[in-house]
Chain A
């Protein structure tokens, strides 16, 4: 059973991600949600999570800044997957260099989610 943290400024997108995780057959025991990177960091202080899914374009603290901040405190985990429309090689490489483990491009299906989760979690 896995605990997820979903970081996205769209409440609707957070719900869609959860729906797709469950449709994909991912074992979701609980979900924490945050509207931006600052809230995401605060959620991590409340307790550990198994997987983080984060948007990139968010107010206050964007996803790239969030990944860097998470890795500063938790260098070895949890895995962070970027969920975003940003598809340029430059942004992908920046996210990975800051410590993201994978990338899910919007729009996505439940199968896309499953593939990225499986690749990330082995």
Chain B
């Protein structure tokens, strides 16, 4: 079964909530965004945050980026220099919070369409490729790469059957 791309309005929510979360909390504006049609693949990046959801559908949100980009964004959120960050603890927390905002605000849009959704607390991993195995088929999804002067990050929403 081929994966359907999430309808345009909801795809825009995913994209816009990503850029807004970082713009409002870190004061960093994107220099470009692009849709990524590679859905449901193994996630290869230095920092990967995931957050699950259930309800009308079940699935996950995945936010991935490299350490330098994550550190720059998180330091800006905290009004600190990158060198002042407490190792990867604050980076992990900050990336998780950004994903929490993206998913939480997507949930609001999803609920307005008469759907149900409960989301989990985000979890963040470092340095390893992540593969998700649910025993279910990926039916709908959307991914975008957002580019900043400090690097790129990728947001993906996956809906399973």
Secondary structure at chain A's binding surface: helix, strand, loop or mixed?
loop
How far is it, in angstroms, between the C-alpha of A59 and the C-alpha of B121 when the chains are bound? 8
Whether, in the assembled complex, B111 has its beta carbon less than 8 Å from a beta carbon of chain A, the answer is: yes
Complex partner residue of B104 from A10, A86, A109, CB under 8 angstroms: A86
Most buried by B among A12, A85, A106, A108: A12
Stretch at the interface among A13-21, A39-47, A95-103: A13-21
**Contact (A88, B24) CB under 8 Å given A11-B90, A57-B121, A106-B101:** no
Query: Is A88's CB under 8 angstroms from B25's CB?
Result: no
**Contact (A16, B25) CB under 8 Å given A9-B121, A85-B108, A87-B108:** yes
Q: Please give, as numbers and ranges, the residues of chain B lying within 8 Å of A12 by CB-CB distance.
A: 74, 77-78, 90, 93-94, 97
Complex partner residue of A10 from B93, B103, B107, B111, CB under 8 angstroms: B93
Contact with A along B84-122 (1 / 0, CB 8 A): 000001100110110011011101100100000001010
Q: Please give, as numbers and ranges, the residues of chain A lying within 8 Å of B24 by CB-CB distance.
A: 107-109
**Contact (A16, B77) CB under 8 Å given A57-B121, A107-B21:** yes
- Name A57-92 residues within 8 Å CB distance of B: 57, 59, 84-88
Query: Is B97's CB under 8 angstroms from A13's CB?
Result: yes
A-B contacts counted at CB < 8 A amount to: 59
Whether, in the assembled complex, B58 has its beta carbon less than 8 Å from a beta carbon of chain A, the answer is: no
Whether, in the assembled complex, B33 has its beta carbon less than 8 Å from a beta carbon of chain A, the answer is: no
Query: Is B104's CB under 8 angstroms from A84's CB?
Result: yes
Q: Please give, as numbers and ranges, the residues of chain A lying within 8 Å of B89 by CB-CB distance.
A: 11
Query: Is B93's CB under 8 angstroms from A19's CB?
Result: no
Query: Is B101's CB under 8 angstroms from A107's CB?
Result: yes
Whether, in the assembled complex, B79 has its beta carbon less than 8 Å from a beta carbon of chain A, the answer is: yes
Whether, in the assembled complex, B20 has its beta carbon less than 8 Å from a beta carbon of chain A, the answer is: yes
Residues of B within 8 A of A (CB): 20-21, 24-25, 74, 77-79, 89-90, 93-94, 96-97, 100-101, 103-105, 107-108, 111, 119, 121
List 15 A-B pairs, Cβ < 8 Å: A10-B93, A10-B96, A12-B74, A12-B93, A12-B97, A15-B78, A16-B97, A57-B104, A85-B108, A87-B104, A106-B101, A107-B20, A107-B24, A107-B101, A109-B24
Residues of A within 8 A of B (CB): 9-13, 15-16, 19, 57, 59, 84-88, 106-109
